[in-house]
Amino acid sequence: METIADAPNKEVKGSSPPDKKLTVVFVLGGPGSGKGTQCANIVQHFGYTHLSAGDLLRAEQNSGSENGAMIKNMIKDGQIVPSEVTIKLLQRAMEESGNDKFLIDGFPRNEENRAAFESVTGIEPDFVLFFDCPEEEMEKRVLNRNQGRDDDNIVSIRKRFKVYINSSLPVIEYYNSKGKVRKIDASKPVEEVFEAVKEVFTSLDEKVRQHRDIFGRCIRRKKFRNGATKCSWMRCILPS
């Protein structure tokens, strides 16, 4: 069976028209920075499918999978589950969704996650939505959220912060050096944070509108001597 891995940056099986490029946004930030909450809002307003890597791992753990015990122990200890496991879950969820716009929340968490996802799927994110929040505030939120998670206790949370700083922040820095990070001040109340989030997604929509003719094709592509066409907008995803 053909999977996303076999068809990088092409259609996902299901309702997408052929050759439609996938839009992928990585949603990153520390534990308790508000990724899940804001992703739910983005889904409502902008039609993305939300894939939380942590939720997919917890579902896999509860499904009686052979990896269940390993996932449970690693999550409790704040460690990063092997890329292979997480990437398979993400790929499956993308294929099953039938959508072509994804928010991938809480992944990639380290450099190895990032490189493995890129080489296995051939997908690079359009941009990274980064929720920046002071540790003190994140700790308060996690300890108050009562979602019955066995990693939302003070011992696990301290370990998760360490992993976040040592392993996950370098991934954000990597994308920052490529100009792909959209940073949001996540310390504010939910509604205010969403106003800032909306800006990021709306301006993307606007940009697409400015570049698109009535058939959905890019009208800003320039032709080069070798016959290739390229749009000056780095993130242009429209067909020519």
- Judged by the rule CB under 6 A, the positions of this chain that interact with ligand UDP are 31-32, 35, 52-54, 57, 74-75, 78-81, 86, 106-107, 109, 151, 160
Cis omega (within 30 of 0) for bond into 108: yes
- Tell me the longest C-alpha to C-alpha distance in the chain: 61
Using CB under 5 A as the binding criterion, the count of chain residues that bind Mg ion stands at 1
Q: Tokens 């990063």 map to which residue?
A: 80
Q: φ and ψ at 222, to 5 degrees?
A: -110, 145
Place of tokens 């992993």: 163
* Binding partner selected for residue 120 from Mg ion, ligand UDP, none, CB under the kind-specific 5 to 8 Å limit: none
The nearer residue to Mg ion, 53 or 238, going by C-beta atoms, is 53
Interacting span for Mg ion (CB under 5 A) from 34-42, 56-64, 78-86, 219-227: 34-42
- Contact between 122 and Mg ion (CB under 5 A)? no
Residue 125 interacting partner from Mg ion, ligand UDP, none (CB closer than 5 to 8 Å by kind): none
12 vs 57, which CB is nearer to ligand UDP? 57
- Which residue in 13, 42, 10, 41 sits closest to 25, CA to CA? 42
Query: CB–CB of 231/225 below 8 Å?
Result: no
Distance between CA atoms of residues 79 and 163, nearest Å? 7
The one segment of 33-41, 109-117, 126-134, 181-189 that binds Mg ion by CB under 5 A: 33-41
Query: Among residues 19, 8, 235, 1, which one has the least CA distance to residue 117?
Result: 8
Question: What backbone torsions phi and psi does residue 232 show, to the nearest 5 degrees?
Answer: -75, -20
Closest separation between CB of residue 157 and ligand UDP, Å?
9
**Closer to ligand UDP by Cβ: residue 53 or 172:** 53
With contact defined as beta carbons under 8 Å apart, do 18 and 11 qualify?
yes
Stretch that binds Mg ion, among 30-38, 115-123, 151-159, 202-210 (CB under 5 A): 30-38
**Which residue's CB comes closest to ligand UDP?**
54
Single out the segment in contact with Mg ion by CB under 5 A; choices: 28-36, 38-46, 128-136, 145-153.
28-36
* CA pair distance 206, 22, nearest whole angstrom: 18
Q: How far apart are CA 44 and CA 237, in angstroms?
A: 22
Whose Cβ is closer to ligand UDP: residue 10's or residue 92's? 92
Residue 8 makes contact with Mg ion by CB under 5 A: no
Give, as ranges, the residues between 190 and 219 that touch Mg ion (CB under 5 A). Answer: none
* CA count, 13 A, side-chain hemisphere, 115: 4
Among 36, 68, 82, 122, binds Mg ion (CB under 5 A): 36
Q: Which residues contact Mg ion (rule: CB under 5 A)? A: 36
